[in-house]
Chains A and B, each alone.
Chain A
Amino acid sequence: EDQVTQSPEALRLQEGESSSLNCSYTVSGLRGLFWYRQDPGKGPEFLFTLYSAGEEKEKERLKATLTKKESFLHITAPKPEDSATYLCAVGGAGGTSYGKLTFGQGTILTVHP
């Protein structure tokens, strides 16, 4: 069974204070690792897909990296508008379906001005 664990559960930063969020996973054949942002009462908003160890992707102040066991979401010089819950999900290659995503609990990020 695929499993995803995110840490920390909550993270409070000052504006401009860089940090990283962790996503540890176990999966039977990684099809892809996905990062989403979720605002309160909203649906997950796609950020990144990573497919293989060593891969990195960047978007504005966010950078996602992937190893064989975990992924990091690095936030550089965050702003208050980066405050949200960040979700990590994995798609495994096992099972009858290619598409099922298994999500972590999320990290609640709060950035104070």
Chain B
Amino acid sequence: EPEVTQTPSHQVTQMGQEVILRCVPISNHLYFYWYRQILGQKVEFLVSFYNNEISEKSEIFDDQFSVERPDGSNFTLKIRSTKLEDSAMYFCASSERVAGEETQYFGPGTRLLVL
């Protein structure tokens, strides 16, 4: 069964460093998303991406964040200068839309710890 994969599973970094989180969406999907979940809190939307551009972004997704689809299979989230409050689980999701219906499938997540 096709699934979304993410690497790395865990990332520890120092405050101020850049991190890149990687995702391989399901192959025939065209819509891509990043969400995050701070420990004990809700899953929060960060950004949606379609046709090589951002469709929508949340208030969390400020200038320190960027997304890219560098090739036909990968989808990345970059945090330029990490802050302590960026520590969270980051989930990638992908979907297709058929007749107006859409279901997002999530990856296993990357646990980011900023020290």
Contact = CB atoms under 8 A, between A and B. Distances in A.
B91 A43 contact: yes
B45 interface: yes
Interface in A85-104: 87, 89, 91, 95-104
Nearest to A104: B42
Interface in B31-59: 31, 33, 35, 41-45, 48, 50, 55-56, 58
Given A95-B56, A99-B48, A34 B103 contact: yes
Interface stretch (A18-26, A45-53, A60-68, A72-80): A45-53
Interface residues of B, number: 28
Contact of A87 (B43, B58, B111): B43
Contacts of A101: 33, 35, 43, 45, 104
Contacts of B108: 42-43
Given A32-B101, A32-B102, A49-B101, A100 B109 contact: no
Contacts of B56: 95-97, 99-100
Nearest to B31: A99
What class of interface size applies to chain A in its complex with B?
20 to 34
A36 B95 CA distance: 15
A102 B4 CA distance: 20
A45 B1 CA distance: 13
B109 A42 contact: yes
A101 B97 CA distance: 14
B105 interface: yes
B75 interface: no
B25 interface: no
Interface of B: 4, 31, 33, 35, 41-45, 48, 50, 55-56, 58, 89, 91, 95, 97, 101-109, 111
27 contacts: A32-B101, A32-B102, A32-B103, A34-B104, A41-B111, A43-B109, A45-B106, A49-B101, A87-B43, A91-B102, A96-B55, A97-B48, A97-B55, A97-B56, A98-B97, A98-B102, A99-B31, A100-B33, A100-B48, A100-B56, A100-B58, A101-B104, A102-B45, A103-B43, A103-B44, A105-B41, A105-B42
